[in-house]
Every structure is written in C-alpha cells, then in structure tokens.
Amino acid sequence: MPTQRLRLAIRGRVQGVGFRPFIWRTAQAAGLSGFVHNTGEGVTIELQGSSSQLDAFQLHLQQDLPPLAQIDSMQQSLLDPLPDEDGFEIRSSSGSTTQARLPADSATCPACLDELFDPANRRYRYPFINCTDCGPRYTVTHRLPYDRANTSMLPFLLCPTCRSEYQGPHSRRFHAEPTACPDCGPQLQLTDRFGVPLNGDPLHGAWQILQMGRSIAMKGLGGFHLVCDATNPEAVARLRQLKHRPGKPLAVMALNVESVRAFCEVSPQEAAWLQRPERPIVLLQKKPEADQRMPDIAPGIAAIGVMLPYTPLQWLLFHEALGRPQGQQWREHACEQSWVMTSANLSGEPIVTSNQEARERLNKVADVFLLHNRNIVTRCDDSVLALQDAQPLFYRRARGFVPDPLPLAEGGPDVLALGAYLKTTATVLRGNEAFVSQHVGDLDHPLSCEALEHTAQHLLDLTGVNPQAIACDLQPDSFSSQLAQQWSRQLGIPLLPVQHHHAHLAAVIAEHGLQGPTLGLALDGYGLGKNGGAWGGELMMLEGASCERMGHITPLPLPGGDKAAREPWRMAVGLWHRLAGALPLPPQLSDRPGLPILLRQLETGLNCPDTTSMGRWFDAIAGLAGICPEQSFESEAAQKLEALATPCAPLAGGWQVSSTNLLDLSPLARQLLQLHDPLAIASLWHATLAHALADWAARASSTTGIQQLVLAGGCCANRQLLQGLLPLLRDAGLQVYTAHALPPNDGGLSLGQAWVARQRLLQGTAQSALS
C-alpha cells in the first residue's frame, strides 16, 4: 500500500498527562514512523505509514487515551512522505507556551496504590508516589512549560533508577515531573507545635495523637488540613473551639464508598463523583444514625460533606489506623474509621500552605504537625459539590478542577475579572476559553486579599495573557474592586465595573453559550444595585452586554444594616413590622434582648435600609421559625431551614405578581406568622416560594416572548428549592439553565464579570467600526 504522512495538531489537556509516551507506544505498535513533541499550543504529531496503519492509530487515539488526557481539538493535514525515516521518536518541546495547558491535581491512581501497599516495591509506603496518571500538578508548578525545573521538585535530584523511568517512554513515569522515591524525594516529619522533631515513624506518631482525641495539622496538596477522629465527640468539640468554628459543618474523609454508606445515603451518581480523579467533597444526605455516630459534624444540617482519600499520605493514615493490613483487599472493605479533614485555617483566614506559616498560625489549634519538605506553590482548597438532577452543583470549585478552562461559544478580547467580596475567584478569558481560578475566599482578612492578588497574577502568568480590560463588582469599596482600579491604572487598560446580579446571570449564559435575549432570576444575598440599593431578588432581561431590571421581590427592612444579615431574628421582626398588619408579634421573637430598641429603629427608619434580597427573606423566615436567631457562619439560617423542609402543597393565593413585575410575598408571610411549628414554616415557605417564582418567570416569558431563563445567585444552591422550582419552570415551557461547571454563588461571579466586560469591548469595537 502507498505510504502516507499525516500531521496532527492537537489541543487540550495533552501535556503532563502521559500523552507523548502514549502516542509513542501506539505508533510503535502500529508500525508507524515519525515523531511527537510538545508545542506552545499543545502537541504536534507526524506519522508515516500505510492508510490501514494510520486508521489503526487514530482508532486507538479515540478510544484509549491516558486517564487524565483530553482532546479539545485536532487539525489534520497530509504531508509528503519522507524517505528513509527510521522509527518513531519523542522530540524536545518547542515554541512558546501561549496555548499550553497545565493539568489539575489528580488523586492517586490504582497502579500507584498497588505499588504503595506492595512490600516488594521500592516505593512501599512512600507518601509521595505518583506517575503521569496521578499526583500533584497545578499546586507544585511555578510557571509553564510544565517541566520539573519549573516545579517545587527542582531541589530533589532524581536517583539513577528514577531517572531511568523518567527518561523511558515505556515507563508510566516518563516525564512525570513530580516523580521521586524514598532515596531521592521529599520526606515526612512529625514535629510538636514549636517545630521540634518527634522521634519514631511520623505516621505512627500522628496516628497515636489521633487516638488520644487530639488533632494534627497535615500537609496536603494545596494546603494543610486539620485532622481529628470524626467519631470522637470530645475531639471534634475541642477542634471546633480551638479553630473558632462553633457550628459550620466539617468535612469528613472515609476510606471508600462502602464506608460512607454506614452514615449517608449514596446514589450511584454520587458514588461515581466520590471516586473521580478530582476527588471533590460531595454533600450527601445523612442517614438517621449519622448524628449518633458523628454528633457534632454537621449540626442541624441535612447533609454531610464527604470525600475519599486522594493523596498517598491520606491512604497511609487509614492503613496505619487499620494496623497496616497485608495485601490490597482492605482498600475495598468498609471501615469504621473516619476523619475530620477540614481546611487548616483560623476563621476568616486563607488555608495555610507553608511549614513555617503552619507553625505560626496553627500552633494553638493543632497538637502536632505532619509535615514534608515539598513546597506548595499554589494555594488550592478542596472542591465542594452536590448533585442536583444528576448534575453537579458546585459550592466551591478548586482542587482537581482548576486550572482546567471552561469552553466558550465565541472568542474575543482577553479580559481579567476579580470577583467581589465573598467566595472570591479571578477569571481570565483567553480566546474561546475561560480560566476561572480556585476559590480564594472572603476578603475580610489581609491574608485573603494577598491571596487574591497572587492568584490573579499567577493565572495571568500561566495563561500568558495581557488583558485588554479588567472587570470588577459595582461595589467600589471592596478590596477586589480597589485592586482592579489599581491594576487598571498600572496597565493602562479600561476598568469595567459590572452590577453584581448581572454578573451572576451572565456566568450561566457564558457557561452554556446562550445567544439572544434571555430572562434571568437572580436569587441572592446581597449585591449593590444600579440605584444604590441592596438587591438580591431580581427579575432581569439580558442580551449581549445589556441587562435590564424588570422587577423584584417584596422589599424588607434591614434593621441595623449588615447586623441584620448576621442575626435572622432581626429580619423576622422587620418582616413582621412591615407585613403583619394587625397580627401579634410571634412569641419566639417577643422576648429577644434589644427588641424595644429594634422596634423604635423600625418606627423611625434609622439605619433601616430596604433590601430586595432573597437571602434576607430566607433569614427572616428562619428567624420566624426560631431555628437560627443568630448565624455563626454565612447561610447557616438558610441551610437549617432547608434541612427542616419536606414536600407539601403551596399556599393558595400566597403571592401576587403586579403589573410592574413586583413579586409580592406578603400573603405567604402573614400565613407563616400564624404558624408555630418550625417544620411547617420551613415546608410551606419552600413549596410556596417555588410556585411563586415559577409564576413570576412564566408571566415575564409570556409578556416578552422570551423562553430562555437562567437562574443564579447564592439561593440557587438550595436543593430543596430547586427540586420544587425547576420542574414547574419546565412545565411552563421555559428552557431553564443553571450553573453546573461553577458555583451559582459568588464563586462563579468573576466569569460573569469577564464575559460582560468582553461583550462591552466587542460592542464598542463594532460601534467604532460603524462610525
């Protein structure tokens, strides 16, 4: 058969994931000559052989990719065959890194786990085992290209055996940049809180501390975890007290899915997500025995955040707790041991990453420190999600998913966006890709502000982008907006503020690549409105760069301003004062300290601005139910209200929609003020609100003729609400879109800001071309 030569230019996740050795092995097996090498845009392959050989190669390319590889695009071109080409080779990388992509961190693969627990293997019980199919990537890399010299593995010179694996295309560790072994790689160390090394095996010493009901600070991939025995109430209570985290749910790590089934309901889809290479924390419905087994893990909340081990060190901790069992079968058996595995930080601070920082900031929380000498380059917390209609519902997107880009329907100018105040992220738009950073957190601490600045700069460096504009929230006094103003001046590029809820809805539009006019329901806690008001329950119409506020929900007073958001009983009194008519103040509110002052404040209107926030409505109803008079963490009241709710019929006539698109919830509020059972209040609230919102959106669709509807904002993380609302919207003929790839809360806000900013730039370019 005649010889042909084919060039393939491939983009996607094809560097640092074993793609080149896979190509080398596949080409060798097919009897092809040619070469493969990394380029600044991805991977280029040239193949020479018969058409049947080339067909066989392409079939394997489609069906047998390495676990972490992903092909986004592939361009093919025929070349003239080369005479006397001998064999297939892997060539050195070439070109700049303009389109290269850095892989995300990935959980330890089955092949490495088999080696980890094989006494005959030279990496037996080595806590830093990895290969091209697993291990750290993003969190150890300073810059591209993704070479060992650009990672925190640079100080660890490969021993002869590891170097042979690293240089051999037949090896699973060919160019696995973080590869190492006990002879040449990082090492564990156990110290006390003053940094003094403790004698003996570090893992065994850490296990002994945990058995005593104490806690350890354990260094992970993107930061430290605080660890204690999740089944020991005294240990959990002590950790809560020392960490200043009185009520917020704590994440739990279990050995495997069978272990999780002992205390949580686990669907097949949830089991699959628990075991994915990204290893997110998955929110799972509690079983009745969960609170007896782990009474202080998620008090008053219906779900527990659960994850499975994803680093060798975490696997080894279970191995140690089980008495170092022989063989591999123990990994599949149910295990009663579970750990609290919570981010190592004090309240309001970012997660700790360095050994020195850990000792300085955690020495009053952790009893010992399980450390190692491989530096964490990039701070990256655990990702958190739940499943809604078998689709992911992110609460926090970070480790395992970042820095993988989101595809966009169209390209355009490169843009940087810096989020808002809560759950901050940064986004870089490059061509038709959106790079959304890991969760940075709330900007109420100087260290978090520093973390945002470092994260945004690191994202620009990794993508090679020089932004043409910078976007931020409309709120001018938040740190993210101030940083955007500063960088705008320094770089000499436009600053484009974007209204908060416009950005929320635009993030969903960008994710799904929607075109044309779209309706939006922004169901949120707070965002500065274009009129200077506190918005959060808005009906909007969007197209391109424009966003029109069509309507809003019934305003409520905010007695005390921000204080009302922290104390739901205040919101409940404000609701009663505004909407109750002649109804008496409910008894659960009548004996609150400070009530007389609050009532005078409501009468005079002093420091009582109005808000249309859906989140504050949830707070008011929770305060009315008496389940959360004061919040110890954001959205505690809403989460506890959601946990109480059960399906029920909506209140007939519980809402009205005016000709000006005001969604009036006062009939529902007056009914709830007459109930005394918290469960009845929570259930009727959720059921009626779902029908009210569906009616509101359906009327707007009928009026405008627009059938596309996007939902976004923090309240769209309420699965009880979504479970009732989404079917009603679809039954009304609406095409409904929600966030899947990013959180619906402020964690997705920077994508919406960047997308709107790009639309404004494109619109400006089009207008100047016409003038």
Residues marked as catalytic: 20, 38
- CA dist., res. 226 & res. 525, Å (int): 30
Q: Are 370 and 190 in contact (CB under 8 A)?
A: yes
- CA dist., res. 614 & res. 745, Å (int): 13
- CA dist., res. 282 & res. 400, Å (int): 13
Q: Which two tokens stand for residue 455?
A: 């994260």
Residue type, 87: G
- Closest C-alpha to 721, from 687, 763, 756, 676: 687
- CA dist., res. 454 & res. 357, Å (int): 16
Residue type, 584: P
Residue type, 421: Y
Q: Which two tokens stand for residue 728?
A: 């009603």
- CA dist., res. 570 & res. 556, Å (int): 11
Q: Are 417 and 471 in contact (CB under 8 A)?
A: yes
- CA dist., res. 407 & res. 429, Å (int): 10
The string of DSSP letters for 2-48 reads: --EEEEEEEEEE-SSSSHHHHHHHHHHHHT-EEEEEE-SSSEEEEEE
Contacts of 597 (CB under 8 A, 6+ apart): none
The 8-class DSSP code of residue 707 comes to: -
- Letter string b/e over residues 386-423, b meaning 16 or more CB atoms within 10 A of that residue's CB: bbbeeebbbbbbbbbbbbbbbebeeebbbbbbbbbbbb
Q: Within a 10 A sphere around the Cβ of 267, how many other Cβ atoms?
A: 12
Pairing mode of beta strands 662-664, 546-553: parallel
The string of DSSP letters for 615-627 reads: HHHHHHHHHHHTS
Q: At what angle do helices 595-604 and 568-579 cross, to 10 degrees?
A: 50
Q: Can you point out the beta strands (E) in 157-288?
A: 188-192, 216-219, 224-229, 252-254, 281-285
